[in-house]
Amino acid sequence: MTISLTGFMGCGKSSVGQRLAALLCCPFMDLDTHIEDAEGESVSRIFSSKGESYFRGKEALALNDLVSKGLGCTGAPELVLALGGGTVTSGKCAKIVHENTICIYLKASVTSLAANLSKDAPSKRPLLAKAAEQGKEAMMRQISLMLEKRVPAYMKSAHIIIDTDGKSVDEIAERIAGEIKSFHPFHACP
């Protein structure tokens, strides 16, 4: 069983995913990092040199490969996978995620996302780079616009929705572990 984490960039998928994997005694993988390792360059470089369409194609292939490896029959989590912020906006990826993982949507407000994303270098987030250079208000407007388009895909792909505002990484990971146990019983590590 693969547990996938979806949500907008900056919602905490990687941080929560690492903590959740530790709680469940299974490996953690960040899909963007996996793609960067395979391509030998950062997501932002892939976007600028080869385009979003190229990246989304590589993303679908990598996702399918990782999820198919986590389709064991033990019922125990075999992988916690942090998806990219736009992964489920692709119909092909959304279908893979919804049908082959327990998908958790980490829901965060525009204010929380902007605060988290302002800590990153603008070049790290290619779809927000221009807005980030124009200041906090421009970045919040861009996040709002992107969320408006992406939230339906997050909601449709998710099996469980967790509101992350005002919660620590540990609180979120523990809540997810509890939800997953009720959704799909298994024995976690001691």
pLDDT in tens, 125-160: 767 777 777 777 888 899 999 999 999 999 999 999
Rounded average pLDDT over 36-56: 90
Q: Are 104 and 172 in contact (CB under 8 A)?
A: no
Look at residue 99 in the predicted model and tell me its pLDDT. 92
Q: Band the pLDDT of 117: cuts 50, 70, 90.
A: confident
| Model-wide pTM > 0.85 | yes
| Main-chain dihedrals φ then ψ at residue 54, nearest 5 degrees | -60, -45
Look at residue 78 in the predicted model and tell me its pLDDT. 84
Position 121 pLDDT exceeds 60: no
Look at residue 126 in the predicted model and tell me its pLDDT. 65
Look at residue 40 in the predicted model and tell me its pLDDT. 93
Domain chopping of the chain, boundaries: 2-107+156-183
Residue with tokens 């302002």: 118
- Rounded to 5°, the CA angle 104-46-93 comes to 30
Look at residue 68 in the predicted model and tell me its pLDDT. 81
Look at residue 73 in the predicted model and tell me its pLDDT. 47
Cα 190 to Cα 24, 73, 180, distances in angstroms: 9, 21, 16
Look at residue 70 in the predicted model and tell me its pLDDT. 56
Instruction: Please report how many Cα atoms fall inside a 13 Å half-sphere around the Cα of residue 38, on the Cβ side.
Output: 14
Look at residue 28 in the predicted model and tell me its pLDDT. 95
Position 5 pLDDT exceeds 90: yes
Q: Are 176 and 119 in contact (CB under 8 A)?
A: no
- Which one is predicted more confidently, 69 or 92? 92
Q: Are 77 and 186 in contact (CB under 8 A)?
A: yes
Superfamily designation of domain 2-107+156-183: P-loop containing nucleotide triphosphate hydrolases (3.40.50.300)
Rounded CA separation 162/171 (Å): 11
Look at residue 186 in the predicted model and tell me its pLDDT. 54
Position 57 pLDDT exceeds 60: yes
Query: DSSP for the chain?
Result: -EEEEE-STTSSHHHHHHHHHHHHTS-EEEHHHHHHHHHTS-HHHHHHHH-HHHHHHHHHHHHHHHHHHT--SS-S--EEEEPPTTGGGSHHHHHHHHHHEEEEEEE--HHHHHHHHTTS-GGGSTTTHHHHHT-HHHHHHHHHHHHHHHHHHHHHH-SEEEE-TT--HHHHHHHHHHHHHHHS--PPP-
